[in-house]
Amino acid sequence: MTKQMLLAAVLAGGMALAGCNKTPEPPKTETESGANGDVVTASSNPSVGGAEMLPTKTIVENASASPIHKQLVAAIKQAGLAETLSGPGPFTVFAPTDEAFAQLPAVQRDGWMRPAQKTVLAGILQYHVVPGKLTAADIEAKIAEGKGTATFKTADGQDLTATMSDGHILLTSASGNKAIVTQGDVNQSNGIIHVVDAVLLPKM
């Protein structure tokens, strides 16, 4: 074997060995941009009721996929707010679960769904919406700045009060009833959802 052939064989073997020993790169995480330009990953978004919540979908699309928000979605559609909450926003939505709606007297809950009560229903749902995107950390920071209390102006025009209770965000409505944020920071393409355990009632 000539020197040239021997050298070629050694180089080829070295390249093959280097290829075998190359450390594989970790898989890249797919990212999406939200309405505010925030970069979020699908894996960073919690599931709701066992259903995957995609940060590339709107509030209405994700709520419709949630098995524990059927009553809320039906109410949004009945009140004519589906188009609004599918818009660019951004919106912060405190989303009552089906169990939260079940706590209400049936006559009250069913009465809101009547066509004649559409305006009333729309006002109640808008009371669960705060314009802009507020993460749980944002809300907690506002509470700290307010020395234990923060007040937010809802899309209904009334105030919603937030405090802390045993490490959870506690919301108190204008009419005095309360709701706990049981799951926060579910990112949407047009805002954010925080799941709550009660329907917040504005002053009528």
In a domain, 192, yes or no: yes
Closest Cα to residue 59, out of 73, 80, 49, 45?
73
d(CA 193, CA 135): 9
Domain of residue 62 covers 48-134+181-196
In a domain, 188, yes or no: yes
The overall pTM is greater than 0.85: no
CATH of the domain at 81: 2.30.180.10
Give average pLDDT by consecutive 10-residue segment, the chain, 204 residues: 41 39 39 41 72 94 96 97 95 98 94 95 97 96 97 97 96 96 95 97 92
In a domain, 12, yes or no: no
In a domain, 147, yes or no: no
In a domain, 202, yes or no: no
Q: Dmax over Cα atoms in the chain, in whole Å?
A: 97
In a domain, 14, yes or no: no
- The 10 Å CB-count burial string (b at 16+, else e) for 144-177 is eeeeeebebebbbebebbbeeeeeebbbbbbeee
pLDDT for the residue 133 = 96
In a domain, 128, yes or no: yes
Whether the CB-CB separation of 177 and 100 falls below 8 Å is answered with: no
pLDDT for the residue 46 = 85
Give the count of domains, the chain: 1
The CA distances from residue 63 to 29, 146, 169, in Å, are 25, 31, 21
**Six-digit token pair at 155?**
């899309």
pLDDT for the residue 45 = 82
Name residues whose C-beta falls within 8 Å of residue 157's C-beta, 6 or more positions apart in sequence.
Answer: none
pLDDT for the residue 44 = 66
The CA distances from residue 69 to 50, 51, 153, in Å, are 12, 11, 24
In a domain, 83, yes or no: yes
